[in-house]
Amino acid sequence: MNEKQDQKAIYITSLEPRAGKLMVTLGMMELISREVSKVGFFRPVIRSEQEPDNDLNLILKRYDLDISYKDAYVFRVDEVQALGAEGRFKEIVQAILEKYNGIKGNYDFMIIEGFESSGISSGFDVDANINIAKNLGAGLIGVISGRGQKFKEIVEEVRLTADTVEAEGCFHLATMVNRVGPECYNKLRDEFRNRPDESAPVYVIPDVRELSSPTVGEIMEGLEGRFIYGEKGSLNRIATQFKVAAMTLDNYLSYIENGDLIITPGDREDIVVGTLSTIFSRAFPNIAGILLTGGLIPGRRVRHLIEGMRNRAIPIISVEADTFTAAMSANQVTPLIRPDIPKKIELALGVFESQVDIEGIKRRLNISASEIVTPLMFEFRLFEWAKKEKKRILLPESHDDRILKAAEVLRTREVVDIMMLGKKDEVLERASILGVDLPDVDIIDHTKSPLLAKFVEQFYEMRKHKGITMDAARDAMLDINYFGTMLVYNDLVDGMVSGAAHATQDVLRPAFQIIKTKPGVLIASSVFFMCLPTKVMVFGDCAVNPDPNARELAAIAISSADTASAFGVEPRVAMLSYSTGESGKGKDVEKVKEAVRIAKELRPDLLIEGPLQYDAAVDKDVAMKKAPGSKVAGRATVLIFPDLNTGNNTYKAVQRSSNAVAIGPVVQGLKKPVNDLSRGCMVEDVANTVAITAIQAARN
């Protein structure tokens, strides 16, 4: 097989049950969605016992695909079993091909997830999947489970897979050996690292305990239990192992470990209270939850005691079964990567992206980035760009739940290294309540930091010409945004993101006073990335400068063009006004004309034109009439507004009227990046802004 093939479809199939195929499907969806604007998903056979099918439901929801649930599959497993029992194998394949061919024309790329465990025979499952992939013209990714297998067994299975796929004449894109134990992980990686160019690459993915373990909520559902205590969100805590508490409290406490689900009779009030008390002590591990058996619950006074606890991190669930039966049943619960458990989704993607050569897969598929850029594509690319040169970003607002959740996402996906400000015990306690895992995040109490005295002295020296006193300098450094900005200034972090709980001026004032603008940059400013349905545009300045003069407006235009270029947007800059060309008069129009002249003089390499009205800048038909021959009009990608009032109102109008995704404000022109969040931001907004900050730091 040639190394490169023009592929428009990928078929992902596991070659044995419970190989972890969904992780690979998620990883490939993420990869392709960064490059291609219209990605479709197809699952020939879904599990009949599960409605809706978890894999199909997850992909359709996460990637917001415009394909209905019913259109994305053909058979249920029980239907395949019935047809197979009658020997109607050809009919199965024909029906799949027919439905697939009816929808594939609506998409630029298709990802197909194969089926397993039809119950007919393992040979039929494997052969049918390979045969379907070949007939669909899709490159095949085979997923093998390494769990419980020895080195030689895995190597032989990889060889047999390659031989089978080649014999069928199907393009073998890659083999993923998933859930590999630590005893042979490194040896397998070495075995498959240097393969001939014509061979399909083999990627070895370690067994990650959290991915193959159920959440407390999944166990509650599987055992038909009920939730009796804690915060609902705590049901998403992952139970990595089970402990049956039958000893005295003192003996039992010596056995507990991180991630334990404690299983105990509901009348063992000593175990319940003792377990809940562990969350107040640093000497004990972080428990996943408590499962009470026998249909029993603690007595009235003990319940009153529990309900008064302010830390409700540990969920308690109750089941009717006895302790032995409950423990056995809990062990049989199948863990899933579900739409309502984002932690597992991010963990799966993080593991996949850290083990698979993403660029190598793209080369074998021979796909190039689409000229159309959707909001989803742009957001996915931010993580990809940020990971190329991993930076250390400060999130000072550790008291905000959104910040803690975003930090976990960024850490899990290995996008950046995170530092936080706050009292470590309090931060980790709140994270525990939220079910957020931050084991290697650096948390500094800035009020007790040995850096405080140094920063006070530095800030005093910077601002004494403005009349600041040493006491005022100390007061400033006790503010998290001032202390955080000083960390950026001293290169202890590469950038900072704040504003979830602070006003814009509280975040940016320290940056302007301490970090200041780059050499040659007259003024710091901001842009929003406006992610429209088929393209990304840059709007500036919409958040910082109320009424820039002509020279400042020129500087904003140049900074915005450079920002656009840094994020993959070809800069064609339109300087906006209420008139186009020479059609209007007045001081506001003259300001824009002068700004265009200055910008062109300073940066003759940039395409900058104006004054242009908004419609002439973005609409080709209007541009033909109002600005014929223009290289920017009708094709503008960077829109520069004459003042903050116009810019802020316009970006919000475009955002609301066209359902555009507005990412920002992104502050530009500073020597080192500091970015502001909206106080109404969501977790994904925080994560995107951190990625942008890391990219800015790398560009600097």
pLDDT confidence of residue 615: 93
Residue 263 contacts residue 323 (beta carbons within 8 Å): yes
Tell me the average pLDDT across 166-189.
Answer: 91
Q: Which amino acid is at 86?
A: E
* Token reading at 415: 């996008």
Which has the closest alpha carbon to 292: 237, 223, 235?
223
pLDDT confidence of residue 120: 52
**CA-to-CA dists, residue 549 to 237, 399, 640, angstroms:** 54, 39, 13
Q: Helix or strand or coil: residue 212? A: coil
Q: What is the largest CA-CA distance in the chain?
A: 91
Helix (H) or strand (E) holding 14: strand 9-14
pLDDT confidence of residue 2: 41
The 10s digit of each residue's pLDDT in 334-350 is: 899 999 888 899 999 99
Tell me the average pLDDT across 598-604.
Answer: 95
* Token reading at 557: 């235009």
588 pLDDT band, cuts 50/70/90, is confident
pLDDT confidence of residue 356: 93
Tell me the average pLDDT across 352-377.
Answer: 83
The 10s digit of each residue's pLDDT in 690-700 is: 999 999 999 87
Q: Report the 3 state secondary structure along 587-656.
A: HHHHHHHHHHHHHHHHCCCCEEEEEECHHHHHCHHHHHHHCCCCCCCCCCCEEECCCHHHHHHHHHHHHH
Alpha-carbon distance of 534 to 669, in angstroms, equals 28
> For the chain, which domains are there?
9-208+340-365 (3.40.50.300), 216-331 (3.40.1390.20), 375-498 (3.40.50.10950), 517-669 (3.40.50.10750)
pLDDT at 71 over 50: yes
Task: Give the strand pairing for 661-668 and 525-531.
Answer: antiparallel
The 10s digit of each residue's pLDDT in 418-427 is: 999 999 988 9
The 10s digit of each residue's pLDDT in 448-462 is: 999 999 999 999 999
pLDDT confidence of residue 584: 67
Please report how the helices 269-277 and 300-307 are oriented relative to each other, as an axis angle in degrees rounded to 10: 10
Tell me the DSSP string of 439-451: TT-EEE-TTT-TH
| Residue environment code for 653-676, b if the CB has 16+ CB neighbours within 10 A, otherwise e | ebbeeeebbbbbbbbbbbbbbbbb
Q: Of the ranges 271-280, 400-409, 576-585, 627-636, which one carries the lowest mean pLDDT score?
A: 576-585
pLDDT at 47 over 70: yes
pLDDT at 482 over 80: yes
Alpha-carbon distance of 571 to 109, in angstroms, equals 28
Residue 344's Cβ-count burial label (10 Å; 0-12, 13-18, 19+) is buried
428 pLDDT band, cuts 50/70/90, is confident
pLDDT confidence of residue 411: 92
The 10s digit of each residue's pLDDT in 207-226 is: 999 999 999 999 999 999 99
Q: Is the dihedral of CA 278, 281, 285, 287 positive or negative?
A: positive
- The CB density around residue 368, as the number of other CB atoms within 10 Å, is 9
Tell me the average pLDDT across 565-581.
Answer: 91
234 pLDDT band, cuts 50/70/90, is confident
Alpha-carbon distance of 293 to 290, in angstroms, equals 10
pLDDT confidence of residue 236: 87
pLDDT at 203 over 60: yes
Alpha-carbon distance of 356 to 378, in angstroms, equals 21
Q: Which amino acid is at 45?
A: V
pLDDT confidence of residue 333: 94
Residue 212's Cβ-count burial label (10 Å; 0-12, 13-18, 19+) is middle
Contacts of 366 (CB under 8 A, 6+ apart): 4, 5, 6, 7
pLDDT at 473 over 70: yes
Range picked from 12-16, 375-379, 407-411 for highest mean pLDDT: 407-411
Phi, psi of 657 (to 5 degrees): -80, -25
pLDDT at 306 over 90: no
Proportion of the chain above pLDDT 90, given as a percent: 60
Which has the closest alpha carbon to 448: 487, 476, 422, 472?
422
1 pLDDT band, cuts 50/70/90, is very low
- Name the more confident of 398 and 372: 398
Residue 252 contacts residue 230 (beta carbons within 8 Å): no
What angle is formed at CA 527 by the lines to CA 522 and CA 532, rounded to 5 degrees?
A: 155
- Cross-strand bridge partners of residue 262: 243, 290
Alpha-carbon distance of 200 to 140, in angstroms, equals 10
pLDDT at 303 over 50: yes
Q: Which amino acid is at 683?
A: V
Q: Of the ranges 79-88, 157-166, 565-574, which one carries the lowest mean pLDDT score?
A: 79-88
Q: Tell me the pTM.
A: 0.84
Which has the closest alpha carbon to 486: 453, 443, 519, 442?
453
Alpha-carbon distance of 417 to 631, in angstroms, equals 42
pLDDT at 117 over 80: no
Alpha-carbon distance of 513 to 490, in angstroms, equals 14
Alpha-carbon distance of 371 to 469, in angstroms, equals 55
pLDDT at 444 over 50: yes
48 pLDDT band, cuts 50/70/90, is low
Alpha-carbon distance of 153 to 181, in angstroms, equals 13
Residue 479 contacts residue 513 (beta carbons within 8 Å): no
DSSP class of 19: S
Task: Provide the mean pLDDT of the chain.
Answer: 89
Tell me the average pLDDT across 638-649.
Answer: 94
Which has the closest alpha carbon to 201: 281, 153, 152, 141?
141
pLDDT at 405 over 70: yes
